[in-house]
Amino acid sequence: MASSNFIDYVKINVRSGAGGAGSMHFRREKHVDKGGPDGGDGGRGGHIILKGSAQLWTLLHLKYQKHIKAKPGRAGEGGRRTGAEGDDVIIEVPLGTVARHAETGERMAEITEDGQQIILLHGGRGGLGNDHYKSSTRQTPDYAQPGEPGQEAWVILELKLLADVGLVGFPNAGKSTLLSVVSAAKPEIADYPFTTLVPQLGVVAYRDYKSFVMADIPGIIEGASQGKGLGLRFLRHIERNSILLFVVPATSEDWAAEYETLLNELRQYNPELLDKERLLAISKIDLIDEIDYSTVIDRLPAGIPTVFISAIRQQGLVELKDLIWKALTRTEE
């Protein structure tokens, strides 16, 4: 899919339906004496509902649909007939979508499962008909309740991709090449920065028919948390990854410093990201002379499991998958 079709942020105006008015009606039938109030209730207005769909991966279908309105409920009728409910409007969204109130920033809903439904705005309740107001002292009530108005709000829908492993690294760290080798994903690969302009997902096959989902997040640069480079646009996708796999090229002058820079950008964006389990892959080892692993210990960040890989030569990939699977198993315990 073209990169321009990946939409992970939309702002829409939604309005639930108003409730129908209750009926003020009196029974009038031939040969029936002592007719009384028999006004029915109004119908409920339509809800605005978010529904998760595993078939969607972008909010493109909502980009040009700025106003979404549910239908009102019908008014009640005589004979204690309740008005019809307004039709609900179901908005299908990809898994990982968060809905926030545009003005207050309040989180209204979060969709994480296929088929999950959450009412974003409730339709107005239907009014009570005059049949509800009859009593021994008021036998002919000439009053019925109007329906409640619907609700209206500007809502921000924000997609945060769901993945088991998120690749974190500077542009040209080899993340796209790694994803293309270990999965069937086909991200753009070139020898210039920011070749990946949208997140890419790939399913990585593991032993005994097991698998996990890997996400290639567009390259972070120093200052991304302040809006530099691609800025905050794609950092939100890292929040949903169970494990963060930092990718640092072997050609980097200081592996530990590059790792700390990446870690600092995540810390400034959202300190909670540091609570996720982290792994480190030193990539592109095919571009340097043979590594004497006993001499590079001091260059590695302390306390993080590390593996040396070459996606081109498919070197170290089995060890990388084993490391990821062990980490995933730990996070699920």
Q: What is the token pair recorded at 222?
A: 């120093």
Q: What is the token pair recorded at 5?
A: 């079709």
Q: How many CA atoms lie within 13 A of 291 on its CB side?
A: 19
Question: Known binder of ligand: residue 242?
Answer: no
Question: Known binder of ligand: residue 212?
Answer: no
Cβ–Cβ under 8 Å, residues 74 and 42: yes
Question: Known binder of ligand: residue 170?
Answer: yes
Question: Known binder of ligand: residue 310?
Answer: yes
153-184 burial string, b = 16+ CB within 10 Å, else e? bebbbbbbbbbbbbbbbbbbbbbbbbbbbbbe
Question: Known binder of ligand: residue 197?
Answer: yes
Determine the length of the chain.
Answer: 333
Question: Known binder of ligand: residue 142?
Answer: no
Question: Known binder of ligand: residue 285?
Answer: yes
Question: Known binder of ligand: residue 312?
Answer: yes
- Sequence-distant (≥ 6) Cβ neighbours of residue 265 within 8 angstroms: 220, 222, 223, 224, 225, 235
Question: Known binder of ligand: residue 94?
Answer: no
Question: Known binder of ligand: residue 195?
Answer: yes
Question: Known binder of ligand: residue 271?
Answer: no
The DSSP annotation for 98-126 comes to EEEETTT--EEEEE-STT-EEEEEPPPPP
Question: Known binder of ligand: residue 219?
Answer: yes
Question: Known binder of ligand: residue 308?
Answer: no
Question: Known binder of ligand: residue 88?
Answer: no
Question: Known binder of ligand: residue 218?
Answer: yes
- Which of 216, 169, 174 lies closest to 191 in space, CA to CA? 174
Question: Known binder of ligand: residue 136?
Answer: no
Residue ranges for the binding site for GTP? Answer: 169-176, 194-198, 216-219, 283-286, 310-312
Residue ranges for the binding site? Answer: 169-176, 194-198, 216-219, 283-286, 310-312
Residue ranges for the binding site for Mg(2+)? Answer: 176, 196
